[in-house]
Amino acid sequence: MIPVNEFMPAALEEILRKAPMSPEKLAFAWRQSVGDAVDRVTSIQLDGTVLRVRAQSAQWQREVERSAGLIRSRMGRLLGAGIVRSIQVTI
């Protein structure tokens, strides 16, 4: 028997990857990838394969830029490989 805490994340990732892209799907993947604190102080838009992030301050801009590799990896697991190829952050 597979423990629920191992099965559910993988199942959620698979379901989400297969769903059509929508603003809600993107927002969900962002929130899951960065957490509530960063989600509250940013807004996002997918422009082709570039995720454009608008941060509330220079401090949050630096935080997102510093974590961009990890964020891209997490977004890739949720949305599919290659959906987000780069992240551009502005204030």
CATH number for the domain spanning 23: value is: 3.30.300
- Confidence at residue 1, expressed as pLDDT on a 0 to 100 scale: 66
Count Cβ atoms below 10 Å from residue 59 Cβ, excluding itself: 10
Domain that holds residue 50: 4-90
- pLDDT above 80: residue 7: no
pLDDT bracket for residue 4 (50, 70, 90): low
- Tell me the pLDDT of the chain averaged across its residues: 92
Sheet order of strands, 86-90 included? 42-47, 50-55, 86-90
Q: Into how many domains does the chain fold?
A: 1
- pLDDT above 70: residue 5: no
Higher pLDDT, 72 or 1: 72
pLDDT bracket for residue 10 (50, 70, 90): confident
Count the residues in the chain.
Answer: 91
Tokens 């977004």 belong to residue: 75
